[in-house]
DNA sequence: ACCTGAACACCGTTCAAGT
DNA sequence: ACCTGAACACCGTTCAAGT
């Protein structure tokens, strides 16, 4: 039976979870789908196009679920949290999304949601995207690192000697903290900046 | 005459500028250095280690130059600006740094500078790193996109139809703006959040 | 110590040819 | 329309052997 474009994306995401991004090859994907590697190129022009489709699928839940009726800052926080959770659902999800310049439908929709929140809240339309981009970079950057989980011993090892105790405290408290706490902290840092530019919304 | 570790890094950065990160292969680097590809492995355990050394070299100017005697927020801004400029000095510089979990000396030093600024300013030591990380993610994310310069027509093309004019304005103003203006704007957004948590420093 | 030569085990992508 | 088979032009990495 035939392979649809969406089957290829689904198979690729399954393989992503078991092999990771670096282990995701067209040949392995072909084998997983019961097809020659070359066969995939009938459905996708190249690997990059497939990765873009995967990224869009990963982001889908962020664009789909309706936002709660809440103040703009709570809505924006919710969007950031949803994005992180969506990225965490697949191994290397953040790297996949970061690596593809996505102009697929769901990604566009998610971005439009963020812009609408900001514009409705009173941000000038010609600055809304300037605000959205940093939040997006932050969520991606944080989650990439969260998913990389490079053996945490590294830093402590390298710097066990010669270091300022305050700096030690700083690094240790970052490495030992729960990722979700650090994430929320950073997101709030951002929103403080935003709230500062805009009258706080009435609850 | 013999090849030193630092010569390999220098050659790799030269090649990076002409070929880009995706075109930087061990074989091409070998040819550029007048050496077989395998020969490089005497100096570096693998390509990843070489990329880490390249990243550290790229970041070097951020760690080396002393900071001006200024309020903490101005110092932090300066550090962010320097990091962006350092990344921009080499093609795909931001991607190189983002792709390597760097615990090389210069990167450590640059991070310590940021932590010291924050701690001196009065941030609790166990939160300083939580503040530093988001700024770092932002600078990297912004600069990666700035260096990708994916034909700006893409978005406008895809969305010339059916779209909300306010959203159009938002996207257009982002795509047409000078990257350095957008960068400074985003950095300030962050600092507003920080200043909000800390008594503003006396000039 | 530092590098060559040559191989190993892979890649993404193309494309005639099959069904 | 959808895929096979087989090739092309690469990769990173290893390692005996040379100097």
Which of A138, A167, A197 faces B192 most closely, judged by CB atoms? A197
The predicted model gives A175-190 an average pLDDT of 95
Comparing CA positions, the residue from A22, A144, A20 lying closest to residue B101 is: A144
The pLDDT assigned to B24 comes to: 98
Q: Which nucleotide is closest to A7, CA to C1'?
A: D2
Domain ranges of chain B: 5-45, 65-197
* Chain B residues in contact with A142 (beta carbon < 8 A): 133-134, 137
- 8 Å CB contact of A167 and B101: no
User: Residue A90 burial (CB < 10 Å; 0-12/13-18/19+)?
Assistant: buried
pLDDT tens digits, A74-102? 999 999 999 999 999 999 999 999 999 87
User: What is the DSSP track for chain B?
Assistant: -PPPHHHHHHHHHHHHHHH-GGG--HHHHHHHHTS-GGGHHHH-SSHHHHHHHHHHHHHHHHHHSPPPS--HHHHHHHHHHHHHHHHHTSTTHHHHHHHS---SHHHHHHHHHHHHHHHHHT--HHHHHHHHHHHHHHHHHHHHHHHH---THHHHHHTSSS--HHHHHHHHHHHHS-HHHHHHHHHHHHHHHHHHHSPPPP-
Comparing CA positions, the residue from A187, A163, A166 lying closest to residue B124 is: A166
User: Residue B69 burial (CB < 10 Å; 0-12/13-18/19+)?
Assistant: exposed
- 8 Å CB contact of B125 and A186: no
The predicted model gives A101-130 an average pLDDT of 93
**B83 CB-near residues (< 8 Å, 6+ apart):** B59, B62, B110, B136, B139
Q: How far apart are CA A44 and CA A40, in angstroms?
A: 6
Q: Which nucleotides of D are covered by protein (CB under 7 A)?
A: 2-7, 10-16
* Chain B residues in contact with A155 (beta carbon < 8 A): 103
The pLDDT assigned to B57 comes to: 98
pLDDT tens digits, A119-169? 999 999 999 999 999 999 999 999 999 999 764 456 666 665 556 888 888
Q: Quick check: B36 CB within 7 A of strand C?
A: yes
Provide the shortest C-alpha distance from residue A42 to chain B (in Å). Answer: 23
Contact A55, A104 (CB under 8 A): yes
Determine the distance between B41 (CA) and D14 (C1') in angstroms.
Answer: 10
**A66 CB-near residues (< 8 Å, 6+ apart):** none
Please give the mean pLDDT across all residues of chain A.
Answer: 91
What residue ranges of chain B have pLDDT lower than 50? 151-152, 203
b/e for B115-132, b at 16 or more Cβ within 10 A? bbbbbebebebbbbbbbb
B34: left (phi over 0), alpha (psi -120 to 50) or beta: left
Q: Which letter does DSSP use for residue A89 in this model? A: T
The predicted model gives A65-76 an average pLDDT of 95
- 8 Å CB contact of A185 and B127: yes
The pLDDT assigned to A68 comes to: 94
Determine the distance between A40 (CA) and D13 (C1') in angstroms.
Answer: 28
The pLDDT assigned to B159 comes to: 60
Number of Cβ pairs closer than 8 Å across A and B?
A: 161
* Structure tokens that stand for A200 in this block: 């706080």
Q: Quick check: A27 CB within 7 A of strand C?
A: yes
User: What is the DSSP track for A157-187?
Assistant: HHTSSS--HHHHHHHHHHHHS-HHHHHHHHH
Contact A93, A87 (CB under 8 A): yes
Contact B15, B34 (CB under 8 A): no
CATH number at A5-45: 1.10.10.60
- 8 Å CB contact of A190 and B185: no
CA neighbours within 13 Å on the CB side: how many for A5?
13
Q: How far apart are CA A34 and CA A18, in angstroms?
A: 17
The domain made up of B65-197 has a fold known as Tetracycline Repressor; domain 2 (1.10.357)
Contact A62, A76 (CB under 8 A): no
pLDDT tens digits, A6-37? 999 999 999 999 999 999 999 999 999 999 99
Residue with the two structure tokens 């809505």: A75
Determine the distance between B20 (CA) and D1 (C1') in angstroms.
Answer: 38
Domains A5-45 and A65-197 share a fold: no
Comparing CA positions, the residue from B31, B36, B38 lying closest to residue B14 is: B31
The pLDDT assigned to A203 comes to: 44
* Structure tokens that stand for A13 in this block: 């995401």
């Amino acid at each position: 039976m035939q392979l649809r474009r969406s089957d290829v994306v689904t198979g690729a995401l399954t393989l992503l979870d078991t092999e990771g991004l670096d282990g995701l090859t067209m040949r392995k994907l072909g084998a997983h789908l019961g097809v020659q590697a070359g066969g995939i190129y009938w459905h996708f022009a190249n690997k990059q196009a497939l990765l873009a489709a995967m990224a869009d699928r990963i982001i889908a839940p962020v664009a789909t679920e309706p936002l709660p009726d809440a103040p703009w800052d709570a809505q924006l926080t919710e969007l950031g949290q949803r994005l992180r959770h969506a990225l965490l659902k697949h191994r290397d999800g953040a790297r996949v999304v970061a690596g593809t310049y996505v102009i697929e439908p769901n990604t566009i929709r998610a971005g439009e949601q963020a812009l609408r929140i900001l514009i409705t809240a009173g941000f000038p339309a010609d600055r809304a995207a300037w605000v959205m981009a940093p939040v997006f970079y932050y969520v991606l950057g944080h989650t990439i690192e969260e998913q990389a989980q490079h053996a945490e011993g590294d830093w402590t090892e390298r710097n066990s000697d010669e270091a300022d105790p305050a700096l030690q405290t700083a690094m240790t408290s970052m490495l030992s903290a729960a990722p979700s706490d650090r994430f929320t902290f950073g997101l709030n840092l951002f929103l403080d900046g935003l709230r500062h530019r805009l009258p706080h919304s009435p609850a």
